[in-house]
């Protein structure tokens, strides 16, 4: 096997550290670029065999065609989501692999952190006490014990979250297009339709992928069906929530608050430092102005264990490709059209 050359886009210091550590086992040639992959930067991928991309890299038809002309064999996503890549353009041109599971515990635990901080206002209490203000007015929360959590999406992350919340003594309602009834029976919770979940949940946590069916799943109409004090948690994908509808619901006090680790238009802002600049995105600026909104910048995955697993799986995906092995983590437009229960686990043809 020849030594693959990898063009690594949107590099942060922690990326390079974790990949360099794991690459000691693989000995690939990796060139790290700080630039995000886009039509403006795709030329950097010339003379490489593989492109390694992240959630905010843009891989539309134009970029895919350019990569194909540069003889890129493989796009290795170092993330689980793939809504930022045009799979139809890549089909039968460039193989695409991803990291479907790096640490479900990392994301589930971050969702719980958002719930607890938002509920008990610990993020606001931190700033108040730093100003020597020990007044607790406005910080009233509620016991999570015996409250109802609605989990939308019961993949690996959703299932870990269910077990954590049951440890608090919460009642669980869940929704999934492909419900795992055996898991529900074993863990004593029930699957319900979305309307029932909206109406009965005190906390709603989103753990579904972004598809044409889930885009703006949380919208003006669904928000109206929720309890007036409900907390909405999103550690999945930003576009699952219609942000303008969420802001309107917050203004009308239709909901209690939201903890967001993702945002619809996060690609221009998340993972970057704008502390000395004015945020010119009016929607994001409005979100940040609400006292009952807690925003973190897509850090749900950010644990040492997750970074290790991301690097190891990504580099193993690349090695499997060049050794001609089945690509267990491959995605393409053909297999994504099939139901989850019948999707191919091997290479796409």
Instruction: Note the pTM of the prediction, 2 decimals.
Output: 0.87
Return the SS3 of 293: strand
Return the structure tokens found at 256: 């209690």
Architecture in CATH of 104-295: 3-Layer(aba) Sandwich (3.40)
The residue annotated as part of the active site, out of 109, 266, 312, 330, is 266
Residue 216 falls in the annotated catalytic set: no
User: How distant, in Å, are the alpha carbons of 76, 77, 287 from that of 336?
Assistant: 17, 16, 33
What's 5-102+303-342's CATH class? alpha beta
The residue annotated as part of the active site, out of 95, 237, 312, 330, is 237
The residue annotated as part of the active site, out of 98, 109, 298, 312, is 298
Distance CA 5, CA 47 (A): 8
Residue 237 falls in the annotated catalytic set: yes
What is the bridge-based pairing of β-strands 330-331 and 95-97? antiparallel
Tens digit of pLDDT per residue, the chain (349 long)?
789 999 999 999 999 999 999 999 999 999 999 999 999 999 999 999 999 999 999 999 999 999 999 999 999 999 988 989 999 999 999 999 999 988 999 999 999 999 999 999 999 999 999 999 999 999 999 999 999 999 999 999 999 999 999 999 999 999 999 999 999 999 999 999 999 999 999 999 999 988 899 999 999 999 999 999 999 999 999 999 999 999 999 999 999 999 999 998 887 788 888 888 888 889 899 999 999 999 999 999 999 999 999 999 999 999 999 999 999 999 976 554 433 333 434 334 3
Q: In the chain, what are the domain boundaries?
A: 5-102+303-342, 104-295
Contacts of 186 by beta carbon, 8 Å cutoff, 6+ apart: none
Residue 123 falls in the annotated catalytic set: no
């Amino acid at each position: 096997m020849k030594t693959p050359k990898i063009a690594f886009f949107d590099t942060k210091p922690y990326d390079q550290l974790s990949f360099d550590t794991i690459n000691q086992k693989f000995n690939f040639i990796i060139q790290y670029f700080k630039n995000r992959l886009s039509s403006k930067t795709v030329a950097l991928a010339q003379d490489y065999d593989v492109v390694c991309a992240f959630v905010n890299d843009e891989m539309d038809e134009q970029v895919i065609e350019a990569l194909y002309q540069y003889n890129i064999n493989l796009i290795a996503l170092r993330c689980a989501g793939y809504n930022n890549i045009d799979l139809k353009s890549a089909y039968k041109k460039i193989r695409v692999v991803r990291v479907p599971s790096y640490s479900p515990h990392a994301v589930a635990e971050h969702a719980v952190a958002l719930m607890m901080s938002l509920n008990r206002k610990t993020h606001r209490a931190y700033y108040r006490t730093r100003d020597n203000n020990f007044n607790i007015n406005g910080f009233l929360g509620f016991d999570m014990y015996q409250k109802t959590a609605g989990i939308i999406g019961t993949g690996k992350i959703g299932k870990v979250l269910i077990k954590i919340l049951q440890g608090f003594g919460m009642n669980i309602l869940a929704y999934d297009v492909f419900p795992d009834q055996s898991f529900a029976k074993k863990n004593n919770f029930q699957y319900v339709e979305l309307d029932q979940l909206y109406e009965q949940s005190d906390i709603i946590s989103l753990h579904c992928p972004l598809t044409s069916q889930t885009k703006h799943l949380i919208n003006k109409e669904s928000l109206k069906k929720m309890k007036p004090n409900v907390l909405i948690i999103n550690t999945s994908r930003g576009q699952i929530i219609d942000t303008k509808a969420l802001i309107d619901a917050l203004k009308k006090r239709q909901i209690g608050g939201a903890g967001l680790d993702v945002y619809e238009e996060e690609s221009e802002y998340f993972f970057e430092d704008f502390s000395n600049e004015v945020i010119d995105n009016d929607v994001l600026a409005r979100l940040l102005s609400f006292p009952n909104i807690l925003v973190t910048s897509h850090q749900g995955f950010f644990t040492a264990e997750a970074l290790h697993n991301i690097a190891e799986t990504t580099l193993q995906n690349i090695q499997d490709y060049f050794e001609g092995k089945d690509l267990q983590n491959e995605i393409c437009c053909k297999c994504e059209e099939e139901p989850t229960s019948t999707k191919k686990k091997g290479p796409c043809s």
